[in-house]
């Protein structure tokens, strides 16, 4: 039996707004709330590959402020020039730490700036978004419209252009903020198709949809020639599964168009990506991938606010990798870019449920949409809009 004296209750408070509400609920003064709020938010930040001397200084400085730093054993064994750390502390402790780091050597000034950016991005309600994409109440839905004969879940269903246009408009009517049109299957084992064939499939449909849904059409392609044509036809988002790596001309096309670009993580290529994919730490490796891709894209002249990131569920990942990414999806908020998640009807859901038919995985997809929404996803890419719209609406009601 639990002792009743004082009615102790552990509170699971996720962010500053919930902490302020709890403090207000016990009648703390407004001034006290302002002070206590910064002391009640606790964050753990992973830092990799810093100078061992910097790691030693970082540990001592955070300890002196009441926080903690766990370091890799290289720091005390002096067996390497680099070290990894977990920095643990409250907002208030990090705020006192950062100015001190800026006065220290061994790269700690730059680390302080990176730490501040990661913490700020993580707790920001919504990142900068591309023009026309409203993320004030995330997540928004992106409907999947495949025009291919061999897609894993609905191949051949929308080969007729008129039927495809109707399907896209129906998605918008059901609540999709974006409709993502694809003319080449990227399922595991899929072969590439020529750009001319891809354009033959998508152009009539995107032209018709862009006229009816201006600013709301995305095209799933990694080919510069396809992107250039569809952007001229009213498309506003390019969804590139290769994160601008498979076609060297793509970066110039999207830079000149100043359109939104989804950078997706994929290990290998669609034809080979599911052949025994391995990672030492899938979350850390995908995170590092995005750091490199985002910095590279900005260096090439793309605007940071036009970039979105997609961890690529099912693209060169096992079921375990996919679940790990979903479990730790919130860590990608530290990058400060909108997070796109595409779990819809994926094979790993079939593995969990023992369901072979992809079209029987919509309820499972809705469950992952709730998980992603609660982890801070901004865009959910789904085949069935209605069931995911309702699932997300309930999630928002519980976790506004």
Catalytic residues: 346, 381
Place of tokens 């990608």: 332
HSE-CB at 320 with a 13 A cutoff on CA atoms is: 7
104 three-class SS:
coil
Q: Strands 68-71 and 140-146, how do they pair?
A: unpaired
139-149 burial string, b = 16+ CB within 10 Å, else e?
A: bbbbbbbbbbe
Residue 44 CA to residue 48 CA, distance in Å, equals 13
Contact 231, 257 (CB under 8 A): yes
Six token digits for residue 178:
């974006």
Phi, psi of 288 (to 5 degrees): -65, -35
Residue 358 CA to residue 4 CA, distance in Å, equals 51
HSE-CB at 27 with a 13 A cutoff on CA atoms is: 0
Residue 48 CA to residue 301 CA, distance in Å, equals 27
Within the chain, residue ranges assigned H as helices are 16-25, 30-40, 52-63, 74-77, 91-101, 108-123, 161-174, 195-212, 224-232, 250-257, 282-299, 319-327, 347-353, 362-374, 385-398
Residue 285 CA to residue 265 CA, distance in Å, equals 10
Contact 98, 112 (CB under 8 A): yes
């Amino acid at each position: 039996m639990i002792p009743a004296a004082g009615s102790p209750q552990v509170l699971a408070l996720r962010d500053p707004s919930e902490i302020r509400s709890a403090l207000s609920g016990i009648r703390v003064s407004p001034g006290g709330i302002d002070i206590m709020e910064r002391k009640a938010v606790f964050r753990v930040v992973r830092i990799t590959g810093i100078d061992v001397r910097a790691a030693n200084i970082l540990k001592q400085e955070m300890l002196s402020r009441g926080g903690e730093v766990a370091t890799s054993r290289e720091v005390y064994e002096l067996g390497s020039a680099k070290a990894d750390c977990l920095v643990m502390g409250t907002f208030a402790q990090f705020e006192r730490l950062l100015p001190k780091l800026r006065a220290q050597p061994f790269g700690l000034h730059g680390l302080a700036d990176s730490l501040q950016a990661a913490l700020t991005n993580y707790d920001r309600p919504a990142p900068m978004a591309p023009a026309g994409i409203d993320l004030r109440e995330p997540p928004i839905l992106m409907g999947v419209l495949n025009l291919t004969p061999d897609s894993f879940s609905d191949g051949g269903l929308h080969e007729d252009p008129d039927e495809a246009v109707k399907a896209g408009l129906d998605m918008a009517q059901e609540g999709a903020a974006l409709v993502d049109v694809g003319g080449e299957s990227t399922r595991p084992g899929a072969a590439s198709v020529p750009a001319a064939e891809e354009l033959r499939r998508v152009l009539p449909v995107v032209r018709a949809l862009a006229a009816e849904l201006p600013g709301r059409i995305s095209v799933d392609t990694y080919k510069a020639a396809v992107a250039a044509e569809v952007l001229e036809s009213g498309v506003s988002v390019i969804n590139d599964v290769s994160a601008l790596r498979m076609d060297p001309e793509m970066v110039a096309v999207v830079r000149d168009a100043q359109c939104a670009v989804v950078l997706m993580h994929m290990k290998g290529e669609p034809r080979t990506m599911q052949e025994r994919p391995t990672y030492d730490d899938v979350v850390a490796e995908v995170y590092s991938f995005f750091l490199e891709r985002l910095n590279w894209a900005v260096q090439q002249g793309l605007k940071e606010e036009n970039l979105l990131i997609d961890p690529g569920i099912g693209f060169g990942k096992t079921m375990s990798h996919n679940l790990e990414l979903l479990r730790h999806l919130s860590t990608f908020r530290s990058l400060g870019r909108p997070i796109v998640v595409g779990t819809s009807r994926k094979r790993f859901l079939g593995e969990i449920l023992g369901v072979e038919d992809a079209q029987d995985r919509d309820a499972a997809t809705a469950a992952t949409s709730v998980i992603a929404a609660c982890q801070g996803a901004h865009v959910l890419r789904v085949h069935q809009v209605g069931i995911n719209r309702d699932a997300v609406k309930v999630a928002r009601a519980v976790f506004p």
